[in-house]
Chains A and B, each alone.
Chain A
Amino acid sequence: EVQLVESGGGLVQPGGSLRLSCAASGFTFSSYEMNWVRQAPGKGLEWVSHISPSGNNIYYADSVKGRFTISRDNAKNSLYLQMNSLRAEDTAVYYCARLSIPVDIRSFEYWGQGTLVTVSS
Chain B
Amino acid sequence: QAGLTQPPSVSKDLRQTATLTCTGNSNNVGYQGASWLQQHPGHPPKLLFYRNNNRPSGISERFSASRSGNTASLTITGLQPEDEADYFCSAWDSSLTAWVFGGGTKLTVL
Contacts and interface: CB of A to CB of B under 8 A. Distances in A.
Interface of A: 35, 37, 44-47, 50, 59, 61-62, 95, 100, 104-114
Contact of B35 (A35, A44, A108, A111): A108
B89 to A, nearest CB: 10
Interface of B: 1, 32-33, 35, 37, 44-47, 49-52, 54, 56, 86, 88, 90, 92, 97-104
B44 A114 contact: yes
Kindly name the residue among B32, B54, B86, B92 whose own CB sees the greatest number of chain A CB atoms within 10 A: B92
A106 to B, nearest CB: 7
A107 B50 contact: yes
Contact of A105 (B51, B86, B97, B98): B51
Contacts of A35: 99
Contacts of A110: 47
A105 B54 contact: yes
A115 to B, nearest CB: 11
Given A45-B88, A109-B50, 5 more contacts: A44-B88, A47-B101, A61-B1, A108-B35, A111-B45
A106 B92 contact: yes
Shortest beta-carbon contacts, A-B, top 5: A107-B35, A47-B99, A111-B44, A44-B104, A105-B52
Contacts of A112: 44
Contacts of A105: 32-33, 50-52, 54
Nearest to A114: B44
